[in-house]
Structure 1
């Protein structure tokens, strides 16, 4: 099957030279400490401690693309806080340009019912000798869905067929044993899909999801592709040739 591709734009275009401190842990330390203070404030739900790390013009972009200005941060901090979660600061890289620094970091997260990680890009500014967050943007580190066995009344064979997108392209679903296969052309090598839930499948090695749709009678009518990049494409089932 054809993979989905998302166009990526750089967050910053630096038109001047920057000093990199990726290998200099001493230079990184103030920024590492700032991230650790923020993580602790999130873990404990300490809104005041978190806000004390922010510049008055601060805003953040969440890993779902939502822009959160400073005024909305107290509520945001309450939403994401949780003492039952553990965080691990895995890496920190810094580019400093005078009183501005661009920091990228990877942070792991583990809770009783979940594990995950994200990469963040932080713009920090030095105010009266103190570094503060000016802007923060998160990107989730995506994990491949876990396979589960089909159960109940679900029949994998129900999904066999041809599915056409508005662009005119057609995906073909076939079954062998208990496994659903997909391909974009008749002469393509079929790709075994991973069953991750009722009517839901993933392409191995990717985090995109395919979710089949049904009408009121239970007949499969198409499927929706949910790309990890946020793109959604919907197909409809057509008569086989």
Structure 2
């Protein structure tokens, strides 16, 4: 049992080793780097700058799908060629600027097959296809990151605006509440002043009425006194 497990482990190791790519020489690494840079330039400024952003991104997605299908199934005939008259190909590959140049760099070339125009992939460009595919993914990831950052900025701006609006509304409500309180205090003060004035008027009215009664009694007494003084003196007694 142990020997059988060892043999299986060795077989797995041999299979993994056979799948590992060989190390690149410095010249190959330099050539690959140059090819990467070339694909990057074909994307930006080649495709991204002369086309509307939405169109450019959609074209990159189509190019990525065409190359990804071939990388996943390089022997599948339906991925090795496509008609140039296809509506999606016309819209996203033929019409936009820079996309046909990128397609050629991936290894696709125009051919006529049975009197039909095609773009046909040349298998000897498989390594270039893989590099171009990686650059497309890199660019699409950057576009997604850019869109995500823009969304965060937009949400931040919207949040800031909402906070400003909320502060303005709160300030308005606070001013309105303060004004209502001030109006209420002013009303209470007016009522208090009116009550005080009413009490003073009532007290003054009572004092005036009491004074009139005293004056009337005094007048009656004076009249009686006048009558006494004005009366005729008593007659003298002759005997005296």
Shorter-chain TM-score above 0.5: no
Q: TM-score under structure 1 normalisation?
A: 0.23
Give the number of the structure with larger relative contact order, counting CA–CA contacts within 8 Å between residues 6 or more apart: 2
Q: TM-score under structure 2 normalisation?
A: 0.23
Please identify the structure whose Cα radius of gyration is greater. 2
Higher strand residue share: 1
